[in-house]
Amino acid sequence: MSEKKEKSNVVVEEAISLDDPSLYFNRELSLLEFNDRVLAQAKDESIPLLERLNYLCISCSNLDEFYEVRVASVIQIQEMDKFARFSDGLGTEEQLKQISEQAHQLVDEQYRVLHELLIPALDAEDIRFIRRDQWTDKQREYLKKIFHEELQPILTPVGLDSAHPFPRILNKSLNFIIALTGKDAFGRNSGRAILQAPRALPRIIPLCQEETGCGAHDFVFLSSIIHEFVDELFTGMTVKYCHQFRVTRNSDLYVDDDAIDDLLGAVEGELAMRNYGDEVRLEIDAQCSEATVNFLAARFGITEEQVFLVNGPVNLSRAQEIVDLVDRPDLKFAPYKASTPAVLSRHKNYFDAIKKQDILLHHPYESFTPVVEFIRQAAIDKDVVAIKQTLYRTSSDSPIVNALLKAARADKEVTVVIELRARFDEKANINLAARLQGAAVNVVYGVVGYKTHAKMCLVVRKEGKKFRNYVHLGTGNYHPKTAMFYTDYGLFSSNKDLGEDVRKVFVQLTSLGKVTKLHKLLQSPFTLHNELIAKIDREIAIAQKGETARIIFKVNSVVEDKLIQALYRASQAGVEVKLIVRGICSLKPGIKGVSDNIEVRSIIGRYLEHTRVYMFENGGDQEVYASSADMMGRNMHRRVEIAFPIEYKSLKARIINDLKGYLKDNSQAWIMQSDGSYKQSKAKGEVFRVQDELMAQHLGV
């Protein structure tokens, strides 16, 4: 930070080093802060009740992934270099300690919200989780029948002795440790047994209203049924106790890019081991004795900081099943029907519409169906000769994939770049690749060492004697289902230079060759990072002339050091910087002399904010880029990403107006403080929620 020194009665201000660790917030702690904001939605009484339960479960599943990937990564770094430090100055040991403290607070709050807020509210709406001590005789008989007919036949308890070693525990599976007394048929008495609940079993069991006389929406946790009848699995023995537990494992796949010659085979090999990675967290029933907790912790090599004693079901995220099981529209968000741009509605042939003008889609406010229809029409259009597509994540029953298969069967040249290492979608993408190859689609896996994260589709159409390129570029995946819940932009265009750029990027991904100059696209790992910094520097130069300079970025994460430093320099020069960041933000706003002119806000609402937009004032000639890339090192240097310009005036104005709406939000916006914490905006007058506003706008289209 800056210091003042007096020399010969002259005050000299030392320059502020932008490498100072105090200027950066730890990315892992920032991600935990995001989960706090998600959990806050579960406490918000203005949100429909079942949606509040959904937010609680999302915060739990987010924490699962946080431990599977992020905490696992920090532990691995610690094992490789115990002296490693991060940009915020924290070493691995201190970082893991702070993660543990914050994560334990989050988990305690999750269970408090469940027991003190949601369960009473659900009970008031006649939606009940019936505890064992509340079961009536009829309910107990019904559940005993369920146990005998549906559970007992597939449950396999394992007694622990020299012939039965501790079983391999699947990642995030529901398990029970059971203490026994007495001897079995062979005269054995090991004292302990382990029972794993098969994943095929539902975690929430509805009670039959006719057989039990219960309410229409009364449920029992699977764990309660197993607890109640577990003694029937151990004939002639006595169960002293039965406690549930769950282990979270390192689930990040490791593929040595320098040592492989078969990426598909390497990923398949790693997938087989995902459920048995190193243990990083142990959740166990809070009623469990200290001796049993210590026994399990020692067995899994878990430290005290990685043990979570929980007051309820260890697999709390599975309570999300209730949202689908309960038919109460009044307790859910009102259905929203996405609109279709009028310009597409007027044209049966999409190519005629796109030839006339660029077309912008904003999902989920506008339907994803036009994207599917674009590819479907390309598949059956007699003039289309080739389709090239990137797929990072998509649904198993994707209509886009069906259209690509149809195009290949119609003898069109179809090329699909599939990213095999899309985290947690690896198996689905391997199956997808096999399905496409079976129809003679040209399938490639991108570039070894660089994930293909760009969202692109290129359709080559012969019109007369010339070929014309039509493109769709997006900020989100080609996934019709997530497009209903994630906010993303998509652009249709037949611009010659843009189409040629997309063609060149596909050549890079499918072939070999030097980097080629692109006309309009910014691409990582080649030009995107440097160009963003250059455009920030241009705003700095404009501000230094005394002119208005402004930057608005809307992204999911802000982590990359050089970009953060460029924004700090911009703030120091007087550039107004507005950052709309859904999740991680390592930049600290509001620091005197460094980030006085930077505001960071996060919008948490009905839809997951996923759009990436980079807006530069540029002396009044505003530039807007939509992108697949966040401001992270991996996006800038270790992935193939694109940022595409929005040049059509009305479309650019639309996006800028959307950004202004996000900056105006005074209800669902959380403002980041200089210490990394967030405060929710509280409307002093009229409430403005940007997501509600966007829904209203597009309903009127």
At residue 571, the pLDDT reads: 98
Counted residue by residue, the chain has a size of 701
Q: Write the CATH number of the domain with boundaries 342-519.
A: 3.30.870.10
Considering only residues 425 and 159, tell me which one the structure prediction assigns the higher pLDDT.
159
pLDDT at 523 over 90: yes
The first and second tokens of residue 193, run together, are 């047994």
pLDDT at 419 over 60: yes
At residue 274, the pLDDT reads: 55
Q: Write the CATH number of the domain with boundaries 130-331.
A: 3.30.1840.10
Strands 307-310 and 279-285, sheet pairing: parallel
Query: 269 Cβ partners below 8 Å, 6+ apart?
Result: none
Strands 204-206 and 238-249, sheet pairing: unpaired
**Catalytic (active-site) positions:** 453
pLDDT band at 263 (very low <50, low <70, confident <90, very high): low
pLDDT band at 262 (very low <50, low <70, confident <90, very high): low
C-beta of residue 228 within 8 angstroms of C-beta of residue 141: no
Strands 550-555 and 576-581, sheet pairing: parallel
DSSP letters along 562-619, please? HHHHHHHHHHHTT-EEEEEESS-B-B--S-TTTTTTEEEEEE-SSSEE---EEEE-GG
pLDDT band at 482 (very low <50, low <70, confident <90, very high): very high
CA nearest neighbour of 87 among 15, 27, 17: 27
pLDDT in tens, 195-225: 999 988 999 999 988 888 888 999 999 999 9
- Ramachandran angles phi, psi of 596, nearest 5°: -55, -30
At residue 258, the pLDDT reads: 47
pLDDT at 267 over 70: no
Q: Where are the domains of the chain?
A: 130-331, 342-519, 523-699
What residue type is assigned to position 323 of the chain? Answer: V
The first and second tokens of residue 132, run together, are 């064992």
Same fold, 130-331 and 523-699: no
At residue 12, the pLDDT reads: 38
Q: What is the C-alpha separation between 131 and 101, in angstroms, rounded?
A: 30
pLDDT in tens, 576-600: 999 999 999 999 999 999 999 999 9
List residues bridging with 458 in a β-sheet: 388, 471
**How does the average pLDDT of the chain come out, rounded?**
91
ω before 364 within 30° of 0 (cis)?
yes
At residue 683, the pLDDT reads: 86
At residue 448, the pLDDT reads: 81
Query: 611 Cβ partners below 8 Å, 6+ apart?
Result: 475, 476, 487, 488, 489, 554, 626
**Multiple choice CATH, 523-699, 3.40.718.10, 3.30.465.10, 3.40.50.2300, 3.30.870.10:** 3.30.870.10
Q: What is the C-alpha separation between 593 and 541, in angstroms, rounded?
A: 18
Look up tokens 């904003």; give the residue: 362
At residue 118, the pLDDT reads: 97
At residue 14, the pLDDT reads: 55
CA nearest neighbour of 376 among 343, 352, 345, 398: 398
Q: What is the C-alpha separation between 99 and 91, in angstroms, rounded?
A: 12
pLDDT at 184 over 70: no
Query: 472 Cβ partners below 8 Å, 6+ apart?
Result: 371, 374, 456, 457, 490, 491, 492
CA nearest neighbour of 199 among 165, 169, 229, 239: 169
